[in-house]
Structure 1
C-alpha cells in the first residue's frame, strides 16, 4: 500500500521522525520535478526553530532542479499565497506546521493561483516521490535566490478591499494575540493602518511559542479575553502558529 504524505494542510510531522533533512530534500525534489520543469517558486516559513534549516534544504533542492527561488523570509502562509500570483511565480512552498506543537514542522505547497494544490497534484507528487523519478543534487549554477519583503504590499492589497474611512470613523480598539507566531508580523500593523487602536499580546516571535502555545482554542485565549475586557475592545484576533 502506497503511503500518503499529504494531509488536510500539506505534509506535516515531527522533526527528526518523518521530517528529517533527507526526507525534506527528497520530497522537495519530487515536488520540484512534478510541478515544474523550469520557472520560479516562492518560499516562506513560520518562526519555528526548525524552519530556517528546513527552508534552506527546500531552496537547495529547487535550485538543483534549475528553478529560480524567491525567498520571502518569515511570513504568514496567506502572504505566500498572495505573493505567488502577485509575482507571477509558478508555485510556492511554506515551511510551517500551523497549529501543531513546536516539535512539528512541514511543507504546504501552493499552486500558481495562490491556492493550495489539489488532491490530483498531491497524489502526483506522492507517486513521483515513491517511484524516485526525480533528481537530487543536479547542479544549475545559473539559478539564483532573490530575497523580498512583501509585507507592505500584502497589507496594502487587503486595505484596498475595505472602506478605510468608515473604519477610521468608528474609532475601534482591538486586542491581537499573535501566539508568538508569524501573524504578529502583519495583523497589528494592518489594523493600525486602518486607524484601529491595537493592544498586542504575545506578539514577539518565539519558535517555542511560550505565551500560550500554538493552538488558539478558548482555554488558551483567556489572557486575550481578559485584556479585551480591560481595554473595552471592540473585537479580538487570536492567531495560531
Structure 2
C-alpha cells in the first residue's frame, strides 16, 4: 500500500491508514491544500473548479469528498462525473474555471486513485505551483468558509460531447474523408470512460466500431497499462472482426495505443510518430517528446527539415518545451498526443481523429503505414524500490560505469550508445526505477534492459 505526494498531484491506494494510503482523510487534506492554493492565485469574490473522474470503483467516493471540501472552502464546483482527463482539461477553459481536478490514477491498477491538479489554463500545475500546494499539505492549516459563503455544486453532462465538437471543428480533422473510407475499428477501453467517449467520437466520424471492455464499471479486465503483454483480447478481436485497426486507451483516455489489421501492435511509441508525420506534412514546425521516447520522432521531424527537442519526462515538461519552440505537435512516447491547436494536454480522442484522417489520406493499411517508419524497438522494464535504496547515489554510480558514453542527466540518467539508448529514472507515480531502452530489434532492446538491470543489482 502506498501514498505518493508529488508536485504533479497526489496518488495512492485506497484503504488503510491515513498518511500511508489514499484514505478519505487524505483526499480531504489534498483537496483543501489545492483549494487554499487556488485562492491565493487571484483576488476575486468567487472561484470555480471543474471535477471529473474515470470509472474506478473508488471514484465516486473520492469525488464526493473532494467536491464537498472545495465547497467548504467557498469554491464553486462543476462536476462532470464520468469523464476523461483531456475532457476535463478542455472544460476548464471552456467553462472559464479557475482550475480543475481529475480523479484518476491513469494506468495504475484498480486499487489506486489520484488527484491530478490543473491550473486556470486547463494544464497540469507547474513544478513551482505544485511545490506550493505541497507546502499547504504539510502545514495542515486551512480556513473554511462560513455557512453563508459555502461554494455551490452543479453537474454538467455535456462535456464529452462538447470536447468531440471541438475536435471535429479542427481544420486538420477531415470528417468527410474518414466517412468515405468506411473504416471498421475495434476498441478496448479497459472498462473505463473511454467506453463512453470513443464510441461517441467514432459514431460522429462514421466509423463502424466493435467494443470489448467498454462498460465503465471500473473492473479492469486486464492490467490497464496499454502494453503488448496485456492486449491479447483486443488483438484477437481485430482479426476476428476483420477490422482496419484496433484502439486501446488507458482508464483516463490520455494514452493511445493502436493495433494493426493483422492483430499486431503498431507500437505505442509510433502513435505520436504517425500523427506528427501527418501534422508536419501540413504545418511544419518543431516537435517535442520526452527523453524516454523513440528516436523515430526525431527522424520524422528531420525528414521535414524541422527541429526535434527532447524534454524531461512529465507532461508539464513536454508542454513547457513545446511552448518555447511553438511546436504544433508533441507528446510522450507512451501514446500521449499533445496537439496545441485544441489544448496543451495528452488527448487520445484528438489522436484518434487525426490518425483516422491521415490513414484516409494515405489510403493504405495500418501495417503498411508502420513499415514506412524507421524500425526501432523498445523495452520498458522496472525495478521495485525499497526504502533503504539511495536512488540518487545509485544513478551517480551508473554514470561512472558508463562515463565513456554520451550521458544526459536532465531527468534521471540517459545513456546514448551508437545504435541504441537506455534511460533510467525514478518514477514520480510509483515506488520504482523505470528502465527504458531502444535498439534496432526487440531482442537487442530487451538484452540492453536486462544488462542494465544486472548493472544496477551489482551496485546495490
For normalisation by structure 2, the TM-score amounts to: 0.50
Deviation at 1:116, TM superposition (A): 0.8
Q: Is 1:154–2:163 an aligned residue pair?
A: yes
- Number of the residue aligned with 1:31: 34
After superposition, give the CA deviation of every residue in 1:31-83 in whole Å (9 maximum; x if it has no partner): 10011254100001111111111111111111111111000011111110110
CA distance in 1, matches of 2:148, 2:67: 12
* Alpha-carbon spacing, 1:139–1:218, altered in 2? closer, same or farther (3 Å): farther
Structure 1's unaligned 5+ residue stretches are none
- Number of the residue aligned with 2:65: 57
For normalisation by structure 1, the TM-score amounts to: 0.92
CA distance in 1, matches of 2:9, 2:245: 31
Match for residue 215 of structure 1 among 221, 225, 235:
225
CA distance in 2, matches of 1:127, 1:4: 15
CA distance in 2, matches of 1:115, 1:235: 31
Q: Which has the larger radius of gyration?
A: 2
SS of the equivalent of 2:114 reads: strand
Contact kept in structure 1, 2:4 and 2:11, CA below 8 Å? no
CA distance in 2, matches of 1:144, 1:120: 29
Match for residue 229 of structure 1 among 233, 239, 245:
239
Matches within 5 A, 1:39-188: 39-136=47-144, 139-149=147-157, 150-161=159-170, 162-188=173-199
Deviation at 1:138, TM superposition (A): 5.2
CA distance in 2, matches of 1:143, 1:127: 24
Q: Is 1:10–2:9 an aligned residue pair?
A: yes
Contact kept in structure 2, 1:29 and 1:135, CA below 8 Å? no
Deviation at 1:158, TM superposition (A): 1.1
Contact kept in structure 1, 2:73 and 2:151, CA below 8 Å? no
Contact kept in structure 2, 1:24 and 1:54, CA below 8 Å? yes
SS of the equivalent of 1:100 reads: coil
CA distance in 1, matches of 2:25, 2:145: 12
Contact kept in structure 1, 2:80 and 2:156, CA below 8 Å? yes
Contact kept in structure 2, 1:42 and 1:92, CA below 8 Å? yes
CA distance in 2, matches of 1:140, 1:107: 28
Structure 2's unaligned 5+ residue stretches are 41-45, 252-460
SS of the equivalent of 1:204 reads: coil
SS of the equivalent of 1:72 reads: strand
Deviation at 1:133, TM superposition (A): 3.4
SS of the equivalent of 2:231 reads: helix
